[in-house]
Amino acid sequence: MASMQDSEPMHIDIVSDVMCPWCYIGKRRLEKALASVPEIPVALRWLPFQLDPTLPREGKDRQTYLSEKFGGAERAEAVYEPVREAGRQEGIPFAFDKIRKSPNTLDCHRLILWSRAEDAQTEMAERLFRLYFVEGADLTDRAVLVQAAEDVGMMSDLVAELLPTDSDMEKIQKDLDRAQAIGVTGVPCFIIDERFMVMGAEKPETLAAAIKHAHETRPGDGAG
């Protein structure tokens, strides 16, 4: 007889930041992994991480940021080349040269949190990744975020009302603290069934193997 576990989807928490290119690559690889194990039902949940919590709320000029972080555009270019190549392999046309501002992503994380009510977190994450890495949009611009909300079918007028407030900022901070407390030191980080942690944009095969293992070892799944 099938256990209740068989019909309940297994949760995968994706800890990520929308200004992290490896998180975008990791999303693509997770999608490939899930496509390879269609028999395992999963429910995705996106959780926040900040690559650079020191960024001001209004963001920082991109060239200034790269200069401070990498010591100049040339060094940054060398760092980003393997990212571009990995992006090409996953069908992501990274356009780093279009980015004018490095954003503080707290408002993006609130948007992803709010999109959960519409079951649109994955679509929202994709939209924000694309806006930033492909279109070079300013993710600190509230008008950009309101439009993103509309793009994924959220109530954009409500989002426009909430963004200038501190609504759910405390919740985001708690989630950020929790990620740190459980040992998330880099993103993307995939927490499978609240038991297994895969850190980094691992290959689809690695992710699929971890998902299979988690599914096969779910508590209550053993034969009676």
CA dihedral 148, 28, 42, 156 (to 10 degrees): 0
Q: What is the pLDDT of residue 6?
A: 56
Architecture of the domain defined by 4-59+103-216: 3-Layer(aba) Sandwich (3.40)
Instruction: Name the pTM for this structure.
Output: 0.94
pLDDT, one tens digit per residue, over 144-182 is 999 999 999 999 999 999 999 999 999 999 999 999 999
Q: Phi, psi at residue 189, to the nearest 5°?
A: -130, 125
- Contact yes or no for 212/40 (Cβ under 8 A): yes
pLDDT tens, 84-132? 999 999 999 999 999 999 999 999 999 999 999 999 999 999 999 999 9
- Per residue in 2-58, pLDDT tens? 444 457 999 999 999 999 999 999 999 999 999 999 999 999 999 999 999 999 999
Question: What does the pLDDT read at residue 219?
Answer: 87
pLDDT band at 73 (very low <50, low <70, confident <90, very high): confident
**Whether the Cβ atoms of residue 16 and residue 220 lie closer than 8 Å to each other:** no
Amino acid at residue number 15? V
